[in-house]
Structure 1
């Protein structure tokens, strides 16, 4: 029997992932399916691809094929190694040690075809249904949507495969429910919104990876949110109660006396909601009023004279 390189038939490398094998098979199957293809050898190619995919799609049968194939070279005869753990050749009806009907004269592909035909109880030709591909895309949402939840209409250019196996990109508008508490990096699954199935096969799913739009006031780290809060020098020095913005509205924030720029005030549980809600960190800054009038300049002069202070050497920095 002659060796068939199933990886070559599907056009993938030997270290291809299971997703790459599935994707390659579906693309070729759409191209060579006898019901739609005009290629002269479509039926033979389709059968050959199905044969290859039946073996390579399952990790256990693929591992067995790899062990058998390691002893092959194109154009040479093959003797299966003893004690192979992947397939029971005798139970498949192909003989055993010293038994009749061994492997002589049999095409390697025919062996797998017959074996899988026995297992599936099918004939050599039937119309095949294939599920559609799952599609992955990324969308950006507002931080406020994660706090409250939202219903959004989004437009995406998504890949679709036509009847000739060509991939096209078409714009689709979808209504998406943004659940409260969702984080960047999480995925929303839209069942049945992925690639169309073939011959009545089930449509794939659409997975939307969440990212946050850049925000003018907030920075996001996981479930934690950071906001800058500018203070007047006397508020930072003497302490104060000030109004601070948060994604859920304004809060009254107590500023401790002698606060310095960069100090973080933690509002526990005020970050992105969830089973374990994040925190909101208010980062303090010092805003100086401009010395743009005679009165303001005199005020700064008096301020300088009131303190023996050098910010470049003072140990309190």
Structure 2
């Protein structure tokens, strides 16, 4: 595994563990029984109870609401979008727990049928991976396990985790939480099995707003393609993808990294296409044709892409 992917995997596993353990550690959860938000192990209060008890004035309560609710939320959203503005869906590719499971399911499904999605028309062959029917139960089993895990985790963000796990262990979970678990498990299982890529592209608000911010910034980080040496792509081959098109076949979102930016709307900046290109170019003895560009270099790449697109369109019109 390339160094970049090892580093990305560590970030993914670390954030995945944080996502699962945050409610139990009271790092972040909202207790519906107490209508109480917990943050970093502390009760987070807006001062409303103190106002009702006559301990603070209306003006003081208003100030606390602004400082404790609006300011943190606005600052968090602004910082998140600032990162997306410059780097794109960096959160999706490097931290998002859902995308970590998407990649796991992609690899499992590839072992079952050679595809990354049930809806793919063509297989995505990978060296050393021979599709076998015995992987189908594993794939659907993982979808069910992940769906249940997601349902339990989300419920623990709303109810005390000890209550949730105790109820599951003893079989005495209250009716409403039980209904939530059943419904959520079914929905998440179906999403993981049939619509995980669709959800990442268009159904996830977090990912969608990252993409919108990134697309609006011409200086945002892009995967640049050295078109002057595009002929080298004809002999593209890696150990994992000996059939060629390593960058295309290696993309977990099933995109074509050599395409123009507006066709890369759902790119998660995972860097797998760059690693694949680097490996094949190293075998051929020349510099990689794909690399990340940011700032002025990204603008020049965008302009170059637009020029190439116009020239290709003009050539097609001339031929017709």
User: Greater strand share, 1 or 2?
Assistant: 1
Q: Which of the five TM-score ranges fits, normalised by the shorter chain?
A: under 0.3
User: Greater helix share, 1 or 2?
Assistant: 2
Q: Which has the higher contact order (CA 8 A, sep 6+)?
A: 2
